[in-house]
Homo-oligomer: A and B are copies of this chain.
Amino acid sequence: MATTSKPVSAEIEALSAVLGTDASKLLDPTVAKAWIAFLTAYGRVTRALSSELMDTSGMSLADFDVMAQLVRSEDYRLRMSELADAALISKSGLTRRIDRLAINGWVTRRRCTEDGRVHWATLTPLGLRAFKGAAPAHLAAVAERFGSALTASEMERLTRDLLKIAAKNAEPTNS
């Protein structure tokens, strides 16, 4: 997650007139509407969460995500590339993010003794405390901004649908 929400939007409807052939053949209007709703919902929610988290904890959403991954990992540590995959950011992006987290004293980076290529990113006690401090407000914000719009069963349905979409787009690691 970026510290800043991604600018997002797309109006794909009503292009038929422009595109000569009807756009509905290229993109079903039903899908177009869903796509726009998807982008809009994402943009609004992440924008709000991002600034709230930054204000209350001085931590970017990306920071939070990375730390959350470490929190739930064995011994609070993960290899750089595992972490990059888990946090859905590029390897280079993670390198720099860990740099910054390390400056804060929230994470350490140590070379693995068994495989010199590997580096472990480890959450420090200080980092854990920072995370604990930030999590309640952030989770509450997610609950409010994202969770409160739907009932539990709707939410489960939504999850299934989103997972189908995610599965359609599974792919290997990035650079």
The residue of chain B having its C-beta at the shortest distance from the C-beta of A153 within the complex is B30
Min CB distance, A83 to chain B, in Å? 10
Kindly state the separation between the CA atoms of A71 and B23 in the bound complex, as whole angstroms.
13
Q: Interface-forming stretch among A34-42, A104-112, A114-122? A: A34-42
Q: Are A19 and B132 in contact (CB under 8 A)?
A: yes
Interface centre among A34, A69, A171, by most chain B C-beta atoms within 10 angstroms, is: A34
A145 touching B169 in the complex, CB below 8 Å, given contacts A9-B69, A34-B155, A86-B11? yes
Contact among B33, B135, B145, B166 for A15, CB-based, below 8 A: B135
Chain B proximity mask over A58-70: 1 for CB below 8 Å, otherwise 0: 0001101100110
Q: Are B165 and A45 in contact (CB under 8 A)?
A: yes
Min CB distance, A52 to chain B, in Å? 11
Tell me, yes or no, whether A56 is within 8 Å of chain B by CB: no
Min CB distance, A171 to chain B, in Å? 7
Copies of this chain present in the complex amount to 2
Q: Are B139 and A167 in contact (CB under 8 A)?
A: no
Q: Are A136 and B19 in contact (CB under 8 A)?
A: yes
| B-side contacts of A31, CB under 8 Å | 142-143, 146-147, 155
Q: Are A149 and B164 in contact (CB under 8 A)?
A: yes
Measured CB to CB, the residues of A under 8 A from B are 1-2, 5-15, 18-20, 23, 26-28, 30-35, 37-48, 61-62, 64-65, 68-69, 71-72, 86-90, 93, 128, 131-132, 135-136, 139-140, 142-143, 145-150, 152, 154-159, 161-171, 174
